[in-house]
Amino acid sequence: MARKGSCRVRTDKRRSPGFAWPADCSNRGVSGNRGRSRTMTIHRRALLGALAAAPLAAPALAQAPRPIRVIVPFGVGGLTDVVARILIEFMSPALGRPMVVENLGGAGSTIGAAAAARAAPDGNTIMVGSVGHTAMKALYANFPFDPIESYAPVALTTRQPFVVVVHPSVPATDVPSFLAWLRSRNGEANFGTAGIGATSHLSAELLRKLTGAGFTVVPYRTTPQGVSDLTAGRVEFMIDSQTLLAPLMADNRVRGLAVTTAQRSSMLPQLPTLAEAGVPGYDSSAWNGIYAPAGTPDSAIRPIAAAAATAVRDPATKERLARAGVDVFEDTSPEALAAHLRVEVAKWSELVRALNIRGG
């Protein structure tokens, strides 16, 4: 029983344990309690309003930008990985969203490519792919995705020329004398490459197709193993990364003859292109593009494409790419990537099928 002049606190067992409503004492005849009752009622309504608003406020506080997953279908430290990390360092602030690289290497880059194709087409997953993407369907008969149909083009970003180099014992100082030497060897000249079906191997096979000059392919597990045998004279020529081979050229351990791209290299501007030197139509490079899963809406693709285009034109980013031995494309648009991809898929797939090459 409450004492006169006091108010009991009413508990409600239907509510949370320990929760109590202030009692309404307005009709108890307690002197001076009418104003206090009205104050308590106002406080109670304010508390109810705060509790009702709390669930609505929580999501607003949690609206941090969702990270963009950037799949790189190669291991950490490779060319594609380096390019991806340089680009997203600029793109992430431009987009106002975190970008997180996920290296999914293995099986000739098919593991990462498959993961990108299977991802939700919501603009939250992209892949930085390489030229190897173009021959995937031809090389791997069981690969369940198409290099064109399973992906949405986002940006055509960078390319690294390969360079044709020979051991110093080879009596060739330019492309015409090199081709004459190859033909004189009747297919017995040894060519070193990091695996059958690798881009370096396919680049040499494209040279064979366009010139008719034969050679013997000597595959290695890794490029450095092949380079070691090249400098020792156990293989006589290679076509591979200019970043890897330029220092050996500077030390006169190998001789550079030409680059493989349609344009001269900014790293080795003194070397002609193969097309300039007598192999018209030759064009091969380790190029990179950005893809999204097929079905990704244009509204999600365009901001990423714009950020990539701005990145490759940013002086600091461009300089970092150049130090990595990488040149940038002038037109980086989704349409440019789509057109380039169609040409490259046709070229490399036809070559792979003609040679009956199968990936591991």
DSSP state of 78: S
For residue 5, being part of any structural domain is answered with no
d(CA 262, CA 127): 25
What's the domain count of the chain?
2
CA nearest neighbour of 127 among 104, 107, 106, 149: 104
Each residue's pLDDT tens digit, 99-130: 999 999 988 789 999 999 999 999 999 999 99
Q: What is the mean pLDDT of residues 22-34?
A: 44
For residue 13, being part of any structural domain is answered with no
Q: Where are the beta strands (DSSP E) in 211-313?
A: 216-219, 237-241, 255-259, 285-293
Query: Which of 25-39, 150-164, 220-234 is predicted with the least confidence, judged by mean pLDDT?
Result: 25-39
> Are 259 and 265 spatial neighbours (Cβ–Cβ below 8 Å)?
yes
Same domain, 110 and 170: yes
Neighbours of 343 (CB within 10 A): 11
CATH number at residue 324: 3.40.190.150
Instruction: Count how many Cα atoms sit within 13 Å of the Cα of residue 3 in the half-sphere of its side chain.
Output: 2
Same domain, 75 and 179: yes
Each residue's pLDDT tens digit, 316-356: 999 999 999 999 999 999 999 999 999 999 999 999 999 88
Q: State the residue range of the domain holding 177.
A: 69-360
For residue 324, being part of any structural domain is answered with yes
Instruction: Provide the pLDDT for residue 150.
Output: 97
Same domain, 212 and 349: yes
Instruction: Provide the pLDDT for residue 12.
Output: 44
Same domain, 41 and 113: no
Kindly provide the b/e burial profile for residues 61-79, where b requires at least 16 CB atoms within 10 angstroms of the residue's own CB: eeeeeeebbbbbbbeeebb
The sign of the CA dihedral 179, 215, 142, 224 is negative
Same domain, 185 and 55: no
For residue 264, being part of any structural domain is answered with yes
pLDDT band at 18 (very low <50, low <70, confident <90, very high): very low
Three-state DSSP at 167 gives coil
